[in-house]
Amino acid sequence: MADLVLATDDTGGPEIFASLQGEGPSAGMPVAFIRLSRCNLACTWCDTAYTWRFEGDNRPHRDHVTFERKANQVKLSPVEAAQRITETGQNRLVITGGEPLMQGSALAEMMDHLPDMRVEVETNGTTKAPPQLDARIDQYNVSPKLAHSGNPAELALIPERLAAYAADERAFFKFVIAEPGDVDEVLEIVSAHRVPASRVFLMAEGTTSEVQRERQVWLSGLALKHGFRMSDRLHIHLYGDTRGT
């Protein structure tokens, strides 16, 4: 079985750590995180660009920064990854990225070594878990990328995948909102794919507490108006925009 390719923390080790979930329906819960490297999309505002924007990658990003691949990727076998997750002492795991479902088969093997772990997967909603991994997932945190992400809709918004997640009661939709007009696009997606409003979160784009609070003032009103939930970014307030948090 192939190794997992992980992002690195500030020490150069694999980004596996315990923290509080900062976003979505599980916000505030103690969890273990594993952050995988590589992504099939490229958001201009991505706050984990070190998982995909390596030297030679010309996909746009607002910071115009590229990362040296060798320093920002590390490989672990599924067994080694499971052992490190167990060492965090947590009983709930968040699998994130990058786009973690690009490594679905290796993740499924990892989960074979974590039989009692409850699992969340954070995904951009363009792909799906293989059956053996899907059977272990308790919650999907699906974050479809809107036009302001810079991704072409034909790559970021795949109708059959959005419809499948909308029909899956385990899946919650989390939309990143940079300006009020972005909510119009959310309304179109929710209507087209019959996403229940009770499973929709609006979350302000921003990597500082100041920007979050400023945008949440108007975002809260839009969430109330349309019957959506609003997500904070708790980890930004607690730790700032840093790795391993």
Q: Which residues pair with 118 in a beta bridge?
A: 92
CB 149 within 8 A of CB 156: yes
Give the rounded percent of residues in the chain with a pLDDT score beyond 70.
Answer: 100
Q: What's the pLDDT band for 5 if we cut at 50, 70, 90?
A: very high
Give residue-wise pLDDT tens across range 12-65: 999 999 999 999 999 999 999 999 999 999 999 999 999 999 999 989 999 999
Give the rounded percent of residues in the chain with a pLDDT score beyond 90.
Answer: 99
CB 171 within 8 A of CB 140: yes
d(CA 57, CA 41): 12
Give residue-wise pLDDT tens across range 160-199: 999 999 999 999 999 999 999 999 999 999 999 999 999 9
Query: Does the structural domain 4-239 have CATH classification 3.40.50.10190?
Result: no
Q: What's the pLDDT band for 114 if we cut at 50, 70, 90?
A: very high
Average pLDDT score, the chain = 97
For the chain, what's the residue count?
245
For 175, the token pair is: 């939309």
pLDDT at 111: 98
pLDDT at 139: 98
Its pTM stands at 0.97
Give residue-wise pLDDT tens across range 213-234: 999 999 999 999 999 999 999 9
pLDDT at 137: 98
For 148, the token pair is: 């302001």
* Neighbouring residues of 244: CB distance < 8 A, sequence distance ≥ 6: 9, 10, 15, 17, 19
Burial string for 127-149 (b: 16+ CB within 10 Å, else e) reads ebbeeebbebbebbbbbbbbebb
* Neighbouring residues of 118: CB distance < 8 A, sequence distance ≥ 6: 91, 92, 93, 138
Q: Does pLDDT of 1 surpass 90? A: no
Q: Which alpha helices (H) appear in the chain, and where do they start and end?
A: 69-72, 78-87, 104-112, 131-134, 153-156, 159-166, 182-193, 209-226, 234-239
Q: Which alpha helices (H) appear in 113-208, and where do they start and end?
A: 131-134, 153-156, 159-166, 182-193
Pairing of strands 30-35, 16-20: antiparallel
d(CA 204, CA 192): 23
pLDDT at 128: 96
